[in-house]
Amino acid sequence: DGKDGVDGKIGVTGKDGSSVVINGEDGSIGLTGPKGEAGKDAPTLNIAVKDGAPGLNGKDGEVRIVYKDKDGNEKEVASLDDGLLFGADNDGVVVERKLNQKLDILGGANNATDAKNIVTTANADGSIQIDLAKDLDLGTTGSVKTGNTTVNNNGVKVGDNVTLGDTGLTIKDGPSITANGVDAGGKTITNVADGVNGKDAVNKDQLDGLKTSVEGSLDKGLNFAGNTAGTVINKKLGDTVTIKGGLADNVDASDENLRVDVENGNLVVKMAKNLSGLGDIQVGEAGKDGKDGVDGKIGVTGKDGSSVVINGEDGSIGLTGPKGEAGKDAPTLNIAVKDGAPGLNGKDGEVRIVYKDKDGNEKEVASLDDGLLFGADNDGVVVERKLNQKLDILGGANNATDAKNIVTTANADGSIQIDLAKDLDLGTTGSVKTGNTTVNNDGVKVGDNVTLGDTGLTIKDGPSITANGVDAGGKTITNVADGVNGKDAVNKDQLDGLKASVEGSLDKGLNFAGNTAGTVINKKLGDTVTIKGGLANNVDASDENLRVDVEDGNLVVKMAKNLSGLGDIQVGEAGKDGKDGVDGKIGVTGKDGSSVVINGEDGSIGLTGPKGEAGKDAPTLNIAVKDGAPGLNGKDGEVRIVYKDKDGNEKEVASLDDGLLFGADNDGV
């Protein structure tokens, strides 16, 4: 039997302190680099092999080059078969990518969405940018929810009460505007501008105005006068006008000696000059430091040209592979150690195995403690993943959202797909903005003026439809269909129709007739009907011989057949011609110089204000009437109040029926 061997060791040291030591004891190679700068140790590490960490496929028993740095920390060397594992929201699917392979992070459609709503971009700076598509399409079953507001195929819903759909806007237990029209929901329609055109809605002011006008007209009634000077009897519609005499009902009377003639708009009761059929006549009265050494070198060459050279000079190992094919050099490289690039944790001073290829390009060997750093939109947070570890790219809730709005999928082709959820829920503080339109917990806002909230629709300085009702904002409500039922809005045509009907009825007035055949007196409300006789007011008179009977819808004035209580009877009369009148004028002057003058000559009123300051005339104008400028309808003949200022300039006074005419690009309208 042979004896137990002794552990061998070969060492080669360079003059600058660098060395390579081959240790038979544990089959390792110790490498020390050139002296360090004053105060710094030379870089050193020990290379060996062991069964290391599982490979990318996750299987145990992967043989790995391992080394220890000066601090005794063991590092496992990664190969190009190592890489990263990626996972997504679809559990159980893992995407493997070896070093230097490409991983596609894609946006686009999957089972949970109907459109390419996520777009990914590989930027020049090495970042992967994930964007939301400019135009979102969630399909017919998708939705966007932000707090109290939901947008889906059916439209927009704010809270439980307000819904904007394809037929219009509805508010639970409130108003609605749909293709079928406006339903005020039993609420008041407020702030409605005065209706102008036939299909405009009218407001209560207009209705009240008509009511006041009609009531004013009706309140005038009719005035009745007789011979009694300055004495007028006013009777409202429905009142009874009693025209009677003093004769008792049971006394025999006849109309044969009386007649009512129409003369100058008056009904004049006349008695025959020659009485007949009398029985008798009676007279009587009644509001945010090593030593310098010599460089050593050991070389071992194989028959096929391959070699290993241990260089003490720089503490490196030169490796040459078997001769290459005709015309091709053998592969060669030089292995050393140095302080290399920072590790995954970002700290400097990481000792690394380095080598140079045939072209002199230096490469640093990565260990399994190396990997990749990942960053996202939340600056300052870095995710570390060592080689062969898994990085999950997930969608779902975070600090900025209240719902799983991003969905990631590890596909069979090795790509990671990122999608927008079909039903978005942005929570109570989220929002969706497109141009001028924002959808958030409060509802929908378009520009600065239009807002759809949980109480309804409001337009700044314009109309609103809320649970409280419809507020027209001082605007005209146009194209209103004729109201049919009791709670329907009415339009101006209907109001005008009522006005015309009432005015037509009022304009008829009452007709009065007497004995004069074919002659009828028409009196409007407010006019005076004078029923008089020819007897002078200062003459003593009595009604005792007269009576007014209702016969066949007529009021028949009758005189007693047997006159009584008379003083005397005179036959015959005579009248005097009147004189031409003189233009009249009435003036009233105040103590401060103001005055009012009513001029009978031209039918005007002259007004003079109080005396002006020293050196200034008092304001003065003259008011009259004339046929003036055409009205809003363009018709001539509008009678207007006119006045002249102190300089003689004539001004025409406008009424509430005057206004403005507006034209636009559509000529003719």
Query: For residue 102, what is the DSSP state?
Result: -
Q: What does the pLDDT read at residue 79? A: 67
DSSP lists the bridge partners of residue 336 as 354
Strands (E), 552-612: 554-560, 585-589, 595-599, 604-608
Domain boundaries, the chain: 143-189, 585-652
DSSP lists the bridge partners of residue 627 as 639
Spatial separation of the C-alpha atoms in residues 407 and 111, rounded to whole Å: 10
Q: Which of 59-73, 228-242, 314-328, 458-472 has the lowest mean pLDDT?
A: 59-73
Instruction: Please name the residue ranges forming H helices in 472-528.
Output: 492-508
Spatial separation of the C-alpha atoms in residues 226 and 542, rounded to whole Å: 14
Where does residue 228 rank: exposed (0-12), middle (13-18), buried (19+ CB within 10 A)? exposed
How confident is the model over 576-588, as a mean pLDDT? 61
Question: 95 versus 399: which is more confidently predicted?
Answer: 95
Going by pLDDT thresholds of 50, 70 and 90, the confidence category of residue 5 is low
Q: Which residues contact 12 (CB under 8 A, 6 or more apart)?
A: 19, 20, 21, 296, 297, 298, 310, 311, 312
The per-residue pLDDT for range 172-208, each reduced to its tens digit, is 999 999 888 888 888 888 999 999 999 999 999 999 9
Q: What does the pLDDT read at residue 111? A: 46
Q: What does the pLDDT read at residue 85? A: 83
For residue 188 the two structure tokens come to 């008041």
The per-residue pLDDT for range 604-640, each reduced to its tens digit, is 767 777 776 776 776 766 777 777 777 767 777 677 7
Spatial separation of the C-alpha atoms in residues 72 and 19, rounded to whole Å: 18
Spatial separation of the C-alpha atoms in residues 660 and 114, rounded to whole Å: 55
Top-ranked range on mean pLDDT: pick from 152-156, 355-359, 540-544, 559-563? 152-156
Residues 104 and 409: beta-carbon distance below 8 Å: no
Does 398 score more than 70 pLDDT? Answer: no
How confident is the model over 86-115, as a mean pLDDT? 70
Spatial separation of the C-alpha atoms in residues 402 and 609, rounded to whole Å: 75
Where does residue 287 rank: exposed (0-12), middle (13-18), buried (19+ CB within 10 A)? exposed
Mean pLDDT over the full length of the chain: 79
The per-residue pLDDT for range 86-97, each reduced to its tens digit, is 887 777 778 888
CATH domain 143-189 topology:
Ubiquitin Ligase Nedd4; Chain: W; (2.20.70)
C-alpha 413, offset from chain centre? 47
Q: Which bin fits 436, alpha (ψ -120 to 50), beta or left (φ > 0)?
A: alpha
Q: What does the pLDDT read at residue 39? A: 64
Does 513 score more than 70 pLDDT? Answer: yes
How confident is the model over 34-42, as a mean pLDDT? 75
Spatial separation of the C-alpha atoms in residues 320 and 305, rounded to whole Å: 8
Spatial separation of the C-alpha atoms in residues 444 and 461, rounded to whole Å: 18
pTM as predicted = 0.56
Question: 494 versus 608: which is more confidently predicted?
Answer: 494
Spatial separation of the C-alpha atoms in residues 598 and 647, rounded to whole Å: 20
Query: For residue 511, what is the DSSP state?
Result: E
Going by pLDDT thresholds of 50, 70 and 90, the confidence category of residue 287 is very low
